[in-house]
Amino acid sequence: MSGHDGYTRYTLRIPDALYERVKSAAGEKSVNAEIVATLEKFYPDIDHIDDRPEQDRMKFNYILQEMKKLLDEYSED
Protein backbone atom coordinates (compact mmCIF):
# COMPACT_ATOMS: atom_id res chain seq x y z
CA MET A 1 0.00 0.00 0.00
CA SER A 2 1.35 3.44 -0.90
CA GLY A 3 1.51 6.54 1.33
CA HIS A 4 -1.32 8.12 3.26
CA ASP A 5 -3.74 10.15 1.11
CA GLY A 6 -4.88 12.50 3.89
CA TYR A 7 -8.19 10.77 4.51
CA THR A 8 -9.36 8.53 7.33
CA ARG A 9 -11.80 5.85 6.30
CA TYR A 10 -14.60 5.43 8.80
CA THR A 11 -17.65 3.20 8.54
CA LEU A 12 -20.80 5.08 9.47
CA ARG A 13 -24.15 3.51 10.25
CA ILE A 14 -27.11 5.87 9.96
CA PRO A 15 -30.87 5.28 9.87
CA ASP A 16 -32.31 4.61 6.42
CA ALA A 17 -34.55 7.69 6.53
CA LEU A 18 -31.59 9.96 7.39
CA TYR A 19 -29.54 8.44 4.59
CA GLU A 20 -32.33 9.20 2.13
CA ARG A 21 -32.49 12.85 3.31
CA VAL A 22 -28.73 13.22 2.95
CA LYS A 23 -28.84 11.56 -0.47
CA SER A 24 -31.59 13.94 -1.56
CA ALA A 25 -29.68 16.97 -0.25
CA ALA A 26 -26.55 15.82 -2.06
CA GLY A 27 -28.18 16.12 -5.48
CA GLU A 28 -25.40 15.57 -8.03
CA LYS A 29 -22.72 15.20 -5.32
CA SER A 30 -21.93 11.93 -3.61
CA VAL A 31 -23.44 11.20 -0.22
CA ASN A 32 -19.90 11.19 1.17
CA ALA A 33 -19.25 14.68 -0.24
CA GLU A 34 -22.50 15.95 1.31
CA ILE A 35 -21.63 14.50 4.72
CA VAL A 36 -18.11 15.98 4.59
CA ALA A 37 -19.45 19.41 3.54
CA THR A 38 -21.99 19.37 6.39
CA LEU A 39 -19.35 18.35 8.93
CA GLU A 40 -17.03 21.10 7.66
CA LYS A 41 -19.79 23.66 8.37
CA PHE A 42 -20.22 22.52 11.96
CA TYR A 43 -16.56 21.81 12.71
CA PRO A 44 -14.60 24.57 10.94
CA ASP A 45 -10.84 24.42 10.62
CA ILE A 46 -9.95 27.44 12.78
CA ASP A 47 -6.45 27.52 11.30
CA HIS A 48 -8.00 28.48 7.95
CA ILE A 49 -10.90 30.64 9.13
CA ASP A 50 -9.80 33.48 6.83
CA ASP A 51 -10.61 31.25 3.84
CA ARG A 52 -14.30 31.20 4.80
CA PRO A 53 -16.85 33.67 3.43
CA GLU A 54 -17.30 36.87 5.45
CA GLN A 55 -20.72 35.90 6.82
CA ASP A 56 -19.44 32.59 8.17
CA ARG A 57 -16.44 34.35 9.67
CA MET A 58 -18.75 36.86 11.41
CA LYS A 59 -20.91 34.05 12.83
CA PHE A 60 -17.83 32.20 14.01
CA ASN A 61 -16.42 35.33 15.67
CA TYR A 62 -19.75 35.95 17.41
CA ILE A 63 -19.75 32.40 18.78
CA LEU A 64 -16.17 32.81 19.97
CA GLN A 65 -17.06 36.07 21.74
CA GLU A 66 -20.04 34.44 23.45
CA MET A 67 -17.91 31.49 24.55
CA LYS A 68 -15.31 33.90 25.94
CA LYS A 69 -18.02 35.70 27.93
CA LEU A 70 -19.18 32.39 29.38
CA LEU A 71 -15.64 31.37 30.26
CA ASP A 72 -14.99 34.76 31.86
CA GLU A 73 -18.19 34.43 33.93
CA TYR A 74 -17.21 30.92 34.94
CA SER A 75 -13.73 31.96 36.00
CA GLU A 76 -15.13 34.80 38.14
CA ASP A 77 -17.16 32.32 40.24
Residue 53 has pLDDT above 90, yes or no: no
Q: How many CA atoms lie within 13 A of 72 on its CB side?
A: 6
Mean pLDDT in residue range 17-35: 94
Measure CA 5 to chain center: 20
- Enumerate residues 6+ apart whose C-beta is below 8 A from 29: 37
Give the per-residue pLDDT at 14.
Answer: 93
Range with the lowest mean pLDDT among 12-16, 27-31, 49-53? 49-53
Q: Across all residues in the chain, what is the average pLDDT?
A: 84
Domain boundaries, the chain: 1-43, 46-77
Entry pTM: 0.55
